[in-house]
Amino acid sequence: MPGIGIDIAEVKRFRRLSRRFLNRVYTDEEIAYCNKSSRPEMHFAARFAAKEAVIKATTKTDIALKDIYVQNRASGAPEVFIKGKKKKFHISISHTKDIAVAVVISL
């Protein structure tokens, strides 16, 4: 059944993240991608918002955040996957220096 989810995250909450939190929420590839940026907190916040939006779009609360992963296509557009699932999504992510937002439509 199609669904929609939206989430917003404050960037400042992602400035100082513990290794434990990072490893519980993000894949190694997501951590590497975010840390390549001069403002990694914006990317961590955006990916966190995307993961939360996926949960809302699927209405499944038993999905581990780390099993939801966001990667970028060659064009730079984000795409999202759930480990072990073939579910398809449309995703839009945006951020400013203060907030990150994600909208996900599950197909």
Q: Enumerate the active-site residues.
A: 56, 95
Find, among 77, 76, 78, the residue nearest to 68 by Cα: 78
Task: Specify the amino acid at residue 7.
Answer: D
Intra-chain end-to-end CA distance of the chain, in Å? 7
Kindly provide the residue ranges of all beta strands, DSSP E only, lying in the chain, ordered along the sequence: 3-10, 68-72, 78-82, 89-95, 99-106
What residues pair up with 54 in beta bridges, in sequence order?
Answer: none
Total Cβ atoms within 10 A of residue 45 = 27
